[in-house]
C-alpha cells in the first residue's frame, strides 16, 4: 500500500496540481468541470489556495523535490499578495481569477486553513515570514472570532457577525459547527508544533475540552455536526467521514501536546468514534458519506474515502490486535484505486461515485472545495507511517499504544 500511494502522489497528484499553476495571475486555477475543461476565469477560493500551499509544502518536506517547493512558493506568494486583507486583517473567502476581491467574508474555518498552510510552508522553506502571518491570524481568531463558549463562524470584512450559510448544510443554519472546531484544532496543532507557544497550547486545551464535552455525544458514540450557540444539536446527522477524520486529528493534537491527562481522555473518545464508524458505516469496501435521520446517503465521496484510510490505519496503530482496521484501510484503498481515481488523461479523482463505483457524471474535478488536501494528505500520512515495513515505533498514549509521529 505504501509503494502504491507513493506512486499516486509522485506520478498523479503532484503532476496534476502542478499543471494548474496560473503563471499569469498567480495562484492556481480554481475550476475544472467533469469533462476536464479548465476554466481559467473561475474564482479562486482562498481555502483552496491555502490547501494547495500546504500540500506542496508537505510534499517537499517528505520527498525533497524542489519542484514541489517551487509550487508551494507560487501559492504562498499569491496568498501573501491577494488573500490577506491588509486593511482589516484576516483572509478573504474568495477572489476573482486576477486576485480582485470576490467574497470578502471572513470565516473562522478559512483563517484556520491559512494558519495550517503558513505553518507548513514556513517549515518547508525556512522562511520566518509565513509564521509571522500565522501568528497574526491566530491572534485575530482568538481576539475577534470567539466568545466564552467557543468559536464563532462567519463575519463580514470588518468582523461584524453574519449568518453561516458557508458552513451549514442539510437545511439548517448553524451558529457553531463541528467542522470549524475540528479544523481550528488541526491548524493550532501544527502552529503549536512550529512555535511551542504557551498560549496556543492553552487554546488547544480549550478546544479539546469543547470537542470532548460538547461536540461528542456519548449516548450515540459519535459527533454532532451542526449546533446552536449553546451546542444543542440542530439535526440528527452522522457524518461518517468527519468522525473518522476527527478521530485521528484529535489523537494528533493530544500527541503533540504530550500530556497524559489529555491523551487518556482523547483516546477514550477516539476509540469509540473509530469503532462506531467501522461497525455502522464500513460495508467491506468503502464508506457512504453520511446518515441523516436514519437514512444513509450512499454516495462515496472522494474525501470520505481518503480520511477513512487515514483513520483506520491510525485506529490499528493504537490497537495492533484490531487487524480488521488495517484490513478496512487496505480495502478502501483498493476501492479508491478501482473507482475513485479518475484514469482519464489530465484528470485527478472523481468527486463522488456510487456504492458500486460508478462516478456521478457532471460533478467537477476541481472547484473551491476540491483540491489535494485530503487525498494528498492520505498518501503522505501512510508513507510516513510506514505500515508495510512494520517499522512503527509505539509509545503509550492513554491506555493503548499509538504511533509517535
CB 349 within 8 A of CB 302: yes
Predicted local confidence at residue 285, as pLDDT: 96
Predicted local confidence at residue 386, as pLDDT: 77
Average pLDDT for residues 35-44, to the nearest whole number?
Answer: 98
C-alpha distances in Å from residue 164, one per residue of 145, 154, 156: 13, 6, 11
- Nearest CA-CA partner of 350 in 17, 11, 35: 35
Judged against a pLDDT cut of 70, whether residue 390 lies above it is answered with no
User: Residue 387 — pLDDT band, cuts 50, 70, 90?
Assistant: low
Predicted local confidence at residue 398, as pLDDT: 36
CB 244 within 8 A of CB 274: yes
* CATH classification of the domain holding 228: 1.50.10.10
- Structurally, how many domains does the chain consist of? 1
Domain that holds residue 398: 2-403
Per-residue pLDDT of 323-354, as tens digits, reads 999 999 999 999 999 999 999 999 999 999 99
CB 351 within 8 A of CB 364: yes
CB 238 within 8 A of CB 290: yes
Average pLDDT for residues 270-282, to the nearest whole number?
Answer: 97
Q: Comparing 140-154, 214-228, 380-394, which segment has the lowest mean pLDDT? A: 380-394
User: Concatenated DSSP letters for 124-169?
Assistant: HH--SHHHHHHHHHHHHHHHHSEETTEE--EE-TT--B---GGG--
The dihedral region occupied by 262, where left means phi > 0, alpha psi between -120 and 50, and beta the remainder, is alpha
Q: Each residue of 86-116: b (16+ CB within 10 Å) or e?
A: eeebbbbbbbbbebeebebbbbbbbbbbbbb
- Nearest CA-CA partner of 289 in 306, 310, 313, 273: 306
Query: Across the strands, what pairs with 370?
Result: 367
User: Residue 399 — pLDDT band, cuts 50, 70, 90?
Assistant: very low
Q: What is the DSSP letter of 76?
A: H
Predicted local confidence at residue 259, as pLDDT: 96
CB 75 within 8 A of CB 29: no
Q: Each residue of 180-212: b (16+ CB within 10 Å) or e?
A: bbbbbbbbbbbbbbbbeeeebeebbeebbebbb
Q: What whole-number percentage of the chain has pLDDT above 70? A: 95
Judged against a pLDDT cut of 90, whether residue 360 lies above it is answered with yes
Mean pLDDT in the chain?
94
Question: Distance between CA atoms of 119 and 133, rounded to whole angstroms?
Answer: 9
| Number of Cβ within a 10 Å radius of residue 369 | 13
Query: pTM for this one?
Result: 0.94
Question: Distance between CA atoms of 145 and 158, rounded to whole angstroms?
Answer: 12
Judged against a pLDDT cut of 50, whether residue 405 lies above it is answered with no
User: Residue 404 — pLDDT band, cuts 50, 70, 90?
Assistant: very low
Between 394 and 143, the more confident residue is 143
The count of residues in the chain is 405
The dihedral region occupied by 26, where left means phi > 0, alpha psi between -120 and 50, and beta the remainder, is left
Amino acid at each position: 500500500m505504501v509503494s502504491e500511494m507513493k506512486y499516486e502522489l509522485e506520478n498523479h497528484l503532484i503532476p496534476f496540481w502542478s499543471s494548474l499553476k496560473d503563471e499569469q495571475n498567480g495562484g492556481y486555477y480554481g475550476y475544472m468541470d467533469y469533462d476536464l475543461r479548465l476554466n481559467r476565469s473561475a474564482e479562486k477560493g482562498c481555502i483552496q489556495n491555502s490547501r494547495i500551499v500546504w500540500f506542496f509544502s508537505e510534499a517537499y518536506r517528505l520527498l525533497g523535490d524542489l519542484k514541489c517547493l517551487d509550487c508551494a512558493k507560487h501559492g504562498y506568494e499569491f496568498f501573501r499578495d491577494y488573500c490577506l486583507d491588509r486593511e482589516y486583517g484576516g483572509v478573504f473567502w474568495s477572489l476573482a481569477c486576477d486576485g480582485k476581491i470576490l467574497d470578502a467574508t471572513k470565516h473562522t474555518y478559512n483563517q484556520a486553513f491559512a494558519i495550517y498552510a503558513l505553518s507548513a510552508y514556513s517549515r518547508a522553506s525556512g522562511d520566518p515570514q509565513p509564521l509571522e502571518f500565522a501568528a497574526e491570524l491566530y491572534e485575530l481568531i482568538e481576539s475577534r472570532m470567539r466568545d466564552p463558549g467557543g468559536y464563532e463562524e462567519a463575519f463580514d470584512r470588518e468582523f461584524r457577525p453574519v449568518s453561516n450559510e458557508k458552513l451549514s448544510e442539510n437545511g439548517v443554519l448553524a451558529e457553531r459547527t463541528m467542522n470549524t472546531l475540528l479544523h481550528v484544532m488541526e491548524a493550532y496543532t501544527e502552529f503549536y508544533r512550529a512555535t511551542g507557544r504557551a498560549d496556543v497550547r492553552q487554546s488547544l486545551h480549550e478546544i479539546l475540552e469543547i470537542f470532548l464535552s460538547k461536540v461528542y455525544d456519548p449516548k450515540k458514540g459519535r459527533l454532532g455536526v451542526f449546533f446552536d450557540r449553546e451546542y444543542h444539536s440542530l439535526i440528527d446527522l452522522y457524518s461518517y467521514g468527519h468522525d473518522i477524520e476527527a478521530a485521528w486529528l484529535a489523537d494528533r493534537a493530544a500527541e503533540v501536546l504530550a500530556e497524559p491527562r489529555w491523551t487518556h481522555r482523547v483516546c477514550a473518545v477516539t476509540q469509540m468514534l473509530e469503532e462506531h464508524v467501522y461497525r455502522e458505516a464500513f460495508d467491506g469496501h468503502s464508506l457512504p458519506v453520511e446518515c441523516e435521520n436514519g437514512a444513509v446517503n450512499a454516495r462515496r465521496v472522494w474525501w470520505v474515502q481518503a480520511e477513512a484510510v487515514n483513520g483506520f490505519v491510525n485506529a490499528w496503530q493504537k490497537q495492533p490486535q484490531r487487524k480488521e482496521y488495517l484490513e478496512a484501510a487496505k480495502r478502501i484503498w483498493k476501492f479508491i484505486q478501482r473507482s475513485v481515481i479518475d484514469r482519464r488523461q489530465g484528470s485527478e479523482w472523481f468527486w463522488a461515485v456510487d456504492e458500486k463505483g460508478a462516478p456521478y457524471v457532471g460533478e467537477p474535478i476541481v472547484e473551491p472545495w476540491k483540491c489535494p488536501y485530503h487525498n494528498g494528505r492520505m498518501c503522505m500520512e501512510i508513507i510516513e507511517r510506514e505500515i508495510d515495513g512494520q517499522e512503527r515505533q509505539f509509545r503509550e498514549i492513554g491506555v493503548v499504544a499509538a504511533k509517535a509521529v
